[in-house]
Amino acid sequence: MNAPHSAGRRRALLAIGGATLLAGCGFQLRGARPLPFDSIYLNMYQYSELAAAIRRQIRANGNTIVTDRAEDAQVRLEVQADVKDKVILALNTQGRVREYQLRQRFIFRLVGKNGQEIMPSSEIFLRRDLAFDDTQLLAKQQEETLLYRDMQNDLVQQLMRRLAAAKMPEAPPAAAPAPAPAAKP
């Protein structure tokens, strides 16, 4: 009768021991990292799916505000390129496409309010392979759409990590008050 209870205890002790080991080694799930600036302007077409996803992620990430005007923001995200490609990787013996590669190249930079470059031009390049079968055209089109959506989610996560790591320039020290003139006796 004690065997089921001792097996349950052993499992509980192993689970607690494993959690203690993970906590002791510094393991921590990657969570939202706050951005090092208070407000940002997204210099991109505001109604695109990508802009909406970036705005959502910034709002969910912390206290940073996405502004509608560049003048109101502490920094500007300038998108220099956002290109999606579909390249043929392989053909079958009849010369029909057997495999595609979906690619997305996103180039951006981060600029401060007074024009100083906080993060130089950076590139995020993503690719996914897509096996193709022309007898399943509708299913493959849906799979392509899902892969592009997955790439966009990956792009937003990579962008957020890079923005969180941005080094904001230090504010110039406040001018020290002028010393009061010495009193004459």
- What's the pLDDT tens digit per position in 16-75? 656 555 555 655 555 567 899 999 999 999 999 999 999 999 999 888 999 999 999 999
Question: How many residues does this entry show for the chain?
Answer: 185
Domain extents for the chain?
Answer: 30-164
Burial zone of 75 (CB within 10 Å; 0-12 exposed, 13-18 middle, 19+ buried):
buried
Whether residue 175 is predicted with pLDDT greater than 80 in this model: the reply is: no
pTM of the predicted model as reported, rounded to 2 decimal places: 0.74
Q: Which CATH superfamily is domain 30-164 in?
A: Lipoprotein like domain (3.30.160.150)
What would the DSSP string read from start to end of 49-83? HHHHHHHHHHHHHSSPEEESSGGG-SEEEEEEEEE
148-168: average pLDDT: 96
CB distance 74 to 112 below 8 Å: yes
CB distance 47 to 74 below 8 Å: no
At residue 45, φ and ψ (nearest 5 deg) are -60, 115
DSSP element (H, E) containing 153: helix 137-164
